[in-house]
């Protein structure tokens, strides 16, 4: 749930940032019009090309940006709340038993077990994949915000590497299963999300991977075949 909320917050921030950028660009256009109108008025000329719809569009963008900011504020509060719950979970899980075991809570009972809960910065593809991976495991998890975006990134990677396979040809269930399997394959070979992200972004190609990192187009095709043969097509 924390990953889903974090993804929603990132998407909302991108939307807010885009609206702000458009509003600033439009404000610059309005200022240019004002300046030209002022210069012409000093010369006794009439500025006839003013587009009054610019002000209307600018006010609309500001209103949309304000609405996006409010939604972002709510999501950031949710992010903080989920982080607090994660911290509480960590503390409860690692609680040591007291003299009265029946009144104590200890989820890890064997010595030598290790649990690590952490919040960390990650790549966009990693975050999308985490949300999609959770959706395959947990009934309460949802990949609605991540699935299409991840499929687009995978299709771009497949196209860059001359693979005939495409995610967009699959239905949502197939995209989830195939995408998760591809992400696991990439991670098992490349060993770090930074390397995976370099492949997804096109900084490196499959043909450049050698040795233990090597991934063939045949292997990718097998992922599609093995995960779609028993599922209906979209």
Higher pLDDT, 3 or 94: 3
Q: What is the dihedral of CA 16, 22, 27, 29, to 10 degrees?
A: 180
pLDDT reading at 197 higher than 50: yes
Evaluate whether residue 146 is within a structural domain: yes
Beta carbons of 149 and 121 less than 8 angstroms apart: no
Confidence of residue 94 (pLDDT cuts 50, 70, 90): low
Evaluate whether residue 91 is within a structural domain: yes
- Taking the C-alpha atoms of residue 125 and residue 136, their distance in angstroms, rounded to an integer, is 17
Q: Could you list the residue range(s) of the whole structural domain that residue 34 is in?
A: 2-103
Overall domain count for the chain: 2
Higher pLDDT, 87 or 108: 87
Beta carbons of 95 and 106 less than 8 angstroms apart: yes
| Residue 18 sits in the same domain as residue 95 | yes
| Residue 149 sits in the same domain as residue 79 | no
**pTM value > 0.75:** no
Token code pair at residue 67:
């609405």
- The pLDDT, as a whole number, for residue 102 is 52
End-to-end CA distance of the chain: 28
Confidence of residue 97 (pLDDT cuts 50, 70, 90): very low
Q: Which of 52, 69, 103 is the last residue of a domain?
A: 103
Confidence of residue 13 (pLDDT cuts 50, 70, 90): very high
Query: Stretch 209-217: mean pLDDT, rounded?
Result: 94
Give me the chain's average pLDDT, please. 86
Token code pair at residue 49:
């090309």
| Residue 92 sits in the same domain as residue 153 | no
CB atoms within 10 A of CB 143: 23
Residue 198 CB-density burial (10 A; 0-12 exposed, 13-18 middle, 19+ buried): middle
Evaluate whether residue 140 is within a structural domain: yes
CB atoms within 10 A of CB 106: 13
pLDDT reading at 231 higher than 70: no
| Residue 147 sits in the same domain as residue 97 | no
């Amino acid at each position: 749930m924390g990953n889903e909320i974090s993804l929603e917050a990132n998407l909302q921030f991108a939307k807010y940032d885009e609206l702000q950028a458009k509003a600033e660009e439009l404000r610059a256009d309005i200022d240019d019009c004002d300046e030209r109108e002022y210069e012409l008025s000093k010369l006794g000329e009439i500025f006839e090309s003013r587009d009054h719809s610019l002000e209307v569009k600018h006010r609309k963008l500001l209103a949309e940006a304000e609405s996006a900011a409010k939604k972002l504020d709510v999501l950031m509060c949710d992010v903080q709340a989920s982080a607090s719950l994660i911290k509480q979970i960590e503390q409860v899980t690692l609680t040591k038993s007291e003299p009265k075991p029946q009144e104590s809570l200890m989820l890890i009972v064997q010595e030598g077990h290790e649990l690590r809960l952490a919040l960390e910065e990650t790549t966009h593809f990693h975050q999308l994949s985490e949300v999609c991976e959770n959706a395959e495991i947990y009934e309460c998890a949802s990949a609605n915000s991540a699935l299409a975006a991840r499929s687009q990134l995978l299709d771009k990677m497949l196209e860059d590497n001359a693979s005939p396979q495409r995610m967009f040809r699959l239905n949502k269930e197939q995209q989830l299963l195939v995408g998760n399997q591809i992400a696991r394959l990439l991670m098992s070979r490349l060993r770090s999300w930074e390397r995976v992200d370099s492949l997804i972004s096109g900084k490196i190609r499959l043909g450049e991977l050698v040795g233990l990192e090597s991934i063939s187009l045949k292997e990718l095709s097998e992922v599609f075949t093995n995960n779609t043969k028993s599922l209906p097509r979209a």
